[in-house]
Chains A and B, each alone.
Chain A
Amino acid sequence: MSGELPMTRRTLAALLSTGVVGVVTPVGAQPKPAVEISEAEAALRRNTEAIKTVDVPWDTEPAFRFQP
């Protein structure tokens, strides 16, 4: 879903009436994007490696039609 929908006056009034849009809470210094990129990609690799350790029988199908 795109975030580029037009802002109507009613919508803007609704947003402004809450008085909460744009509240900022101080946080610790965020790591640089390069750190976040490398950590996100490292996480993907770790997940792939962890899943590879599971012995999956040949006839196991993905839970396509997921029903508990």
Chain B
Amino acid sequence: MAVITDDVYFATAVELHARLVRREFSAVELARAFGERLEKLGPRYNALALSLREQAIRQAKDVDKELKRGRERGPLQGVPYGVKDLLAVAGGPTTWGAPPFAGQVFGEDAAVVQKLEKAGALLMGKLAMVSLAGGGGYRYAAASLQGAGLNPWDRTRWAGGSSSGSAAAVAAGLTPYALGSETNGSIVTPAAYCGVTGLRPTYGLVSRRGAMPLAWTMDKIGPLAHTAEDCGHVLAAISGGDDGDPGSAGRRFHFAPQYAGVVSKLRIGIATADFEVHAAEPLRAALHEALAEFRRMGATVVELELPDFPYSAVASTIIGAEGATSFGGVIRSAALEKLPDARQIEGLKAGLKITATDYLQAMRVRRLIQQAIGALWAKVDVLLAPARHTIATNIKDALDGRSAAGTGNTPRGLRSLTTAGNLAGLPELVLPCGFADGMPVGIGLTGKPFAENTLLKLGMEYQRLTGHHRRKPAV
């Protein structure tokens, strides 16, 4: 019987699969080890919604038989993972992180769970999230059925949201990778705060069938992992057209960074203001060093800024209207009062008051935003900006305060890039790039629609040259 040592818990999916093929340990041993670790340590970070260890061990037995017969399915075969608890897994609770839905059970797995099962991946558990993925807004990190997601680097700080449990589980070595989702920042924020690699894919690339709908035109499902390479393999497994998702782009992602062009020929758009004004002072050294590393790779750096639009107002109107419609049943019921965050309760109710004309006008402005950002790609291939402008906040802090830096009359830069990128359906890859005050700092690469291979190529090269993604918290 193999001894699972600590290095295994922080290994990448690719490394773990290779070690499974070499029979250093079995899939059953790996599932048992990660399952026990997730059950034991997940609650320490309020990261675990539901353990699926026994089911995973049963699946692992089949994986071991396949590997013994030499039947290989790919680099995710036999590797444990977790999913945000807005993804349906048949027969057990899918709570959406919200007390009104604590007992909700679906009869069918979400599309992404079905695809990962076909890839031979082992689903270890459902991971905690902010209630309703933050629909309606929320004031405190405790807006979750499981309580505030705690950061493995410092448990007095927030893991970020809304994919809090997914990011914390990867950061703490509880699962090698996890699925999260993003409507407006919910992969990018926890990835940056927890020091893991996160990928928000192009809208429509990954089926939303079986996922809680917050905003139909903005929801995306994507991976959080230790490396860009792992994110690429996961995205390849979960992507693809689906008639069951009306927003599906009808295309599949093939992970092939070797065909994404030469790094030294890429043009990276940045705004100096992001690195010197918008980002809080403690983060600037790490962010500047990351920018220097991309320059050393030979890429051409181009100064630019986002077009001038009220990105936050447009996103809030669209998400507010779509979310209030999606959750209309619970908003109009007494069950709404069970949500732990008063701001969220009132925000959801307010969403019912967004008029049709306001929503449609926001969608018209959205089209202008798409066109204006589309014009940037004539000048650059990717956009590089801080993933977040501060380190992870204290779990007791109100989340609706302005950031310390970049208020008032400051240059626009790429400050609203995450919101703009979500409105335009663009992919973003977040990479750990160092530390500030002992907490992780993340930098984000945003690309054209369906240009994930370019982002991943840059991300993999960056991670080949640096070691930030290998740092791990004391767990």
Contacts and interface: CB of A to CB of B under 8 A. Distances in A.
Contact of A64 (B43, B141, B349, B363): B363
B101 A28 contact: no
A25 B397 CA distance: 12
A36 B181 CA distance: 27
Contact of B147 (A3, A5, A25, A61): A25
A68 B370 contact: yes
Contact of B102 (A21, A47, A67): A21
Contacts of B342: 30-33, 36
Interface string A18-60: 1111011111101111001101110110111011111010001
A25 B142 contact: yes
Contacts of B366: 62-63
A50 B92 CA distance: 43
A68 B200 CA distance: 14
Interface in B310-328: 310, 312-314, 316-317, 320
Grouping DSSP codes into helix (H, G, I), strand (E, B) and loop, the A interface class, with mixed when no group exceeds half, is loop
A1 B354 CA distance: 21
Contacts of B364: 56, 60-63
Contacts of B424: 68
B329 A2 contact: yes
Interface residues of B, number: 80
A21 B104 CA distance: 14
Given A40-B343, A68-B424, A24 B93 contact: no
A9 to B, nearest CB: 12
A47 B104 CA distance: 34
A24 B104 contact: no
B310 A54 contact: yes
Given A28-B140, A43-B350, A63 B345 contact: no
Contact of A3 (B320, B335, B361): B335
A53 B310 contact: yes
A57 to B, nearest CB: 8
A40 B317 contact: no
A47 B148 CA distance: 28
A14 to B, nearest CB: 5
B46 interface: yes
A46 B145 contact: no
B329 A1 contact: yes
Contacts of B203: 66, 68
B105 interface: yes
A15 B99 CA distance: 12
Given A3-B102, A17-B51, A36-B342, A51 B358 contact: yes
A31 B341 CA distance: 10
A68 B428 CA distance: 14
Given A33-B342, A68-B202, A24 B310 contact: no
B395 A18 contact: no
B438 interface: no
Contacts of B320: 44, 47
B142 A24 contact: yes
A60 B360 CA distance: 11
17 contacts: A2-B329, A3-B99, A6-B103, A11-B105, A15-B50, A20-B43, A25-B395, A30-B342, A36-B347, A37-B346, A37-B350, A41-B353, A47-B312, A51-B310, A51-B361, A52-B361, A67-B249
Given A15-B50, A27-B141, A67-B204, 7 more contacts: A3-B100, A11-B105, A25-B147, A25-B150, A30-B139, A30-B341, A61-B364
Interface of A: 1-8, 10-11, 14-15, 17-21, 23-28, 30-33, 36-37, 39-41, 43-44, 46-48, 50-54, 56, 60-64, 66-68
Interface of B: 39, 42-43, 46, 48-51, 91-93, 98-105, 128, 136-137, 139-142, 145-148, 150, 202-204, 217, 247, 249, 309-310, 312-314, 316-317, 320, 329-330, 333, 335, 338, 341-343, 345-347, 349-350, 353-354, 358, 360-368, 370, 395-398, 424-426, 449-450
